[in-house]
Amino acid sequence: MQKIKNKTKRAFTLIELLVVILIISLIYGLTLSYYTSNDKSNQKITPLTLKEILQDTYNQQKIIFLCTNDCTSCYVNKDGNFTKYENDMELKGTVAYTINQYDELKKIDYGNYKDEPICLIFSIYPNGSSTQMILSSNQKSYFLPAYGRVPIVVKSPEDAKALWLENSYAVSKYGDFY
């Protein structure tokens, strides 16, 4: 008599399938979050992130960032052509200031671009320097230094002016500042 071998086919159990799906989902989620968090071109531009995002996005080229229409429409000039900046921004209502030769705070009047008043022009150069300015927006003010330091949040444009003058004094007093 022949022995009938009882062959049982072993399949994946439901728990094993769930564990495999969980592991694959976890790897996918971690990989996707890494790439999206390191992509600065999709981050929202604010006065604090303006220089960093533009520098990282346009890879050390000379960049001119120009905003019109109460800073709701912005353009980027690289290679001599202005193109509309399509990513998210939180710049509405931003006012730009500089310090004049008498150490007084002065609102910058840039003129018009495409028949719209310009509210901001920010330039970044290949050596990492940028336009030094004071920005005021939504009850906050920001000092954007020309080189080497990150933007600083202050309470008022007057506080930003004090930082600007302190920075200027340090440069004029010590010839080896840079």
User: Which two structure tokens, joined as six digits, stand for 3?
Assistant: 């022995």
CB atoms inside a 10 Å sphere around CB 89: 19
CB atoms inside a 10 Å sphere around CB 140: 14
CB atoms inside a 10 Å sphere around CB 146: 15
Give residue 2's pLDDT.
Answer: 57
pLDDT range class, residue 177, cuts 50, 70, 90: very low
User: Which two structure tokens, joined as six digits, stand for 119?
Assistant: 């509210």
* 30 contacts: CB under 8 Å, gap ≥ 6: none
Residue pair 90/49 in contact by the 8 Å Cβ criterion = no
Average pLDDT, the chain: 82
Q: Where are the alpha helices (DSSP H) in 11-156?
A: 14-37, 50-58
At 65-111, the pLDDT tens digits run 999 999 999 999 877 788 898 888 889 999 999 999 898 999 999 99
At 111-170, the pLDDT tens digits run 999 899 999 999 888 888 888 999 998 788 999 888 767 888 999 999 888 888 887 765
> The whole model's pTM is what?
0.69
Q: How far apart (Å, rounded) are the C-alpha atoms in residues 146 and 99?
A: 13
Q: Is the dihedral of CA 17, 22, 28, 31 positive or negative?
A: negative
* 50 contacts: CB under 8 Å, gap ≥ 6: 65, 122, 144, 151
